[in-house]
Amino acid sequence: MSEAGSGARPMHDVVVVGGGAVGLLLGCLLARRGLDAVVLERRHAPDPAATPSRAIGIHPPGLRALAAAGVGDEVRRRAVVIRDGRVTCDGRTLGRLRFPRSGMVHSLPQLEVEALLEERIDGARTVSLRRGVEVTGVTDRGTHLVVHAVDGDAKLDVPARYAVGADGVRSGIRSLIGADWRPRRGRASYVMCDTRDDTGAPETALLHFEPAGVVESFPMPGGRRRWVARVRREPAELDAAAIATVVESRTGSSFDTDAATSPTAFVAAQHVAHPMSSGRVALVGDAAHEISPIGGQGMNLGWSDAVHLDRELAAALAAAAPIDVFAAYDRSRRAAALRATRQAAFNMRMGAPATGVRLRTRNAAVRVLGLPGLRGVLGRAFTMQWL
């Protein structure tokens, strides 16, 4: 399936641009159908130092997508199950949440999930992953596309019936199809690090809705826990001690800074691409929408995109690969992305600094949502069952 060099170049069914969590999962789904596809990834290899564990929350729809890709059982074996959650403020419990067995969240670092998906593709007969390949353009030939790329000093022309942009928030494919990157409500700054879990709650998400801003912590495999705190701005000296100081000043809890990973600061911003497809090209994952990463919403939404697009691609190829087949995908996934951004914006507002009447109103709302009759509503929203 080599495109370099000479002679006849094979006509792929699909070229997937981007070998992250979403592009790899789509490649696995296409392999399951026996479709001919190649995944082109700019990075030569995953770099754990440059890309720490990133998303960890796998919601039920995401787990179903991983099962369809053939890695669901291994993900379950490696992951920690988050069975419940507790919301507090000033040391008082505002509400509790317990997930049903079918609605529990699994925690596993994104890099581990990507490694499982890549291993699956390595064993596939009809799909391959090519690393160190940077896509530079796409030409529509009417009956098919040609994806232009470079691999070191070599130029590649990769023909395919369809192309998919899974190349992240800074998507070059999105730019090539001329899609708008429309901002959505919701923007906040956070700091984050992973360390040893000394909370005594190894299967519980702890949400501290404090006056100075939310502090969240989530279980991870290997007896570890992720701490995330909302901040007004990134600390001048970003280290584990700075994050521990924020956590302790707000919650009274502490964590072992010697066992902590290098901290990360990030801004949660939100955008949705319009359109999400053009002709023979479609966008998935972060190339199609930027969602607040708190809780893994963006990764799970991207996997849901891949499941929907896999079906659309299979149907289109069965119908002799017509052009403009993504209209229904565009409508349904934009609606899903808009709903996700609204939910994320609400979550960010709930976690914003608050005092006085606003703080009391927020805490009262959390207590109401924590009532037994409403816990199911809250659980469905938290676990993205609607995807």
Output the domain CATH number for residue 369: 3.30.9.30
Q: Is residue 6 part of a domain?
A: no
How far apart are the C-alpha atoms of 69 and 102, rounded to whole Å? 19
Q: Is residue 262 part of a domain?
A: yes
My answer on whether 169 and 260 are in the same domain is: no
58 closest CA partner among 298, 333, 379: 298
What does R_g of the chain's alpha carbons equal in angstroms?
Answer: 22
Q: Is residue 74 part of a domain?
A: no
Q: Is residue 339 part of a domain?
A: yes
What's residue 309's pLDDT? 98
My answer on whether 39 and 122 are in the same domain is: yes
Query: What one-character DSSP code corresponds to residue 101?
Result: G
> Any idea how long the chain is?
387
Residues of the chain scoring pLDDT < 50:
1-7
What's residue 324's pLDDT? 87
My answer on whether 198 and 161 are in the same domain is: no
My answer on whether 318 and 257 are in the same domain is: no
My answer on whether 228 and 255 are in the same domain is: yes
My answer on whether 179 and 206 are in the same domain is: no
My answer on whether 291 and 321 are in the same domain is: yes
What's residue 123's pLDDT? 97
Count the helix, strand and coil residues of the chain and give each as a percent rounded to the nearest 5: 35, 30, 35
Q: Is residue 254 part of a domain?
A: yes
What's residue 88's pLDDT? 95
76 closest CA partner among 178, 225, 221: 221
My answer on whether 367 and 218 are in the same domain is: yes
Q: Is residue 264 part of a domain?
A: yes
Number of compact structural domains in the chain: 2
Coil, strand or helix at 286: helix
**Cis peptide before 275, with omega less than 30 degrees from 0?**
yes
Q: Is residue 117 part of a domain?
A: yes
What's residue 377's pLDDT? 60
Domain span at residue 34 reads 12-69+110-184+272-344
Please write the tens of the pLDDT for every residue from 52-87.
558 999 999 999 999 999 999 999 999 999 998 899
Distance in Å from the first CA to the final CA of the chain? 35
My answer on whether 164 and 290 are in the same domain is: yes
My answer on whether 277 and 260 are in the same domain is: no
**Pairing assessment for the beta strands 84-89 and 145-151 based on DSSP bridges:** unpaired
My answer on whether 102 and 119 are in the same domain is: no
Please write the tens of the pLDDT for every residue from 352-369.
999 999 999 999 988 887
**Pairing assessment for the beta strands 133-140 and 145-151 based on DSSP bridges:** antiparallel
What CATH number corresponds to the domain at position 330?
3.50.50.60
My answer on whether 31 and 115 are in the same domain is: yes
What's residue 119's pLDDT? 98
Furthest CA-CA distance within the chain:
73
Q: Is residue 295 part of a domain?
A: yes
What's residue 2's pLDDT? 38
Coil, strand or helix at 36: coil
Coil, strand or helix at 175: helix
